[in-house]
Structure 1
Amino acid sequence: MKRYCLALDLINDPKLITEYKAYHQNVWPEIKKSITDAGIINLEIYLLDNHLCMIMETDDKFSFEKKNATDAANPKVQEWENLMWKYQQALPQAKPGEKWLLMNKIFQL
């Protein structure tokens, strides 16, 4: 099993943040299926103000490249991603089109 931590910001608007949280209380079944089919065993998203942190635990078959390709070919995932982009804003160091950025682990106890 591998663990990844990713970061992304939300648009700093309380109404939009409330809507974003509501969507994540009822994630579409097709999105959950795309996550588990990719080899993601557990996925958690944490929020502080407008900052998001996603922690993913994956099996050995998971790869970001394969997940990105599968998501690009899935109309329901694309619909979800387009909807979520209404609430999200790229981090300053993100390349065009990048959302979630992989964080580097700097400490482990």
Structure 2
Amino acid sequence: MSWQCLALDLRDDAALIAEYERWHRAEFIWPEVVASIRDAGILEMQIFRTGNRLVMLMRVGPEFDPEAKAAADAASERVQAWEALMSTFQQPLPWAAEGQKWVPMQRIFDLGGCEAGR
């Protein structure tokens, strides 16, 4: 199992940010979206926000394949509808590739690696 960390910005509008957060509450998120996440081998997923910046943490199993998840999502009408809805709230990071939403983050520190120095 491993962790992945990704970042994305929301449009800098308090009402849109509040609506985005509402859609991510357990009672509003679409069950098909949750199923697509779990079916892809994502064991845990959390999204954090500061201002309009989002950070997503995912703990994935060894079977997780981001390309297979993207293909499965592209084949799902419901997931595509969710992505279209979420796009109304999101804006790409300035350094994102064309069409890229969530940008992988690079780990630059790991406390576990510091234990040898003690």
Interval containing the TM-score (normalised by the shorter chain): over 0.9
Shift of 1:39: 0.1
* Alpha-carbon displacement from aligned partner over 1:37-70 (angstroms, at most 9, x marks no partner): 0000000000001000000001111011111111
Gaps of 5+ in 1: none
Amino acid corresponding to residue 94 of structure 1 in structure 2:
A
Tell me, what secondary structure is at the counterpart of 1:4? strand
Q: Percent identity?
A: 48
**RMSD after superposition:** 0.5
Say if 2:64 is the partner of 1:62.
yes
- Runs of 4+ aligned structure 1 residues displaced above 6 Å come to none
| Bigger Cα Rg | 2
Structure 1 length-normalised TM: 0.98
Mapped to 2, the partners of 1:67 and 1:106 lie a distance apart of 26
The equivalent of 1:32 in structure 2 is 34
Tell me, what secondary structure is at the counterpart of 2:44? strand
Gaps of 5+ in 2: 112-118
Number of residues of Structure 1 aligned to a counterpart in Structure 2:
109
Mapped to 1, the partners of 2:66 and 2:94 lie a distance apart of 21
The equivalent of 1:93 in structure 2 is 95
1:78 to 80, 99, 104: 80
Structure 2 length-normalised TM: 0.91
Mapped to 2, the partners of 1:27 and 1:97 lie a distance apart of 23
The equivalent of 2:8 in structure 1 is 8
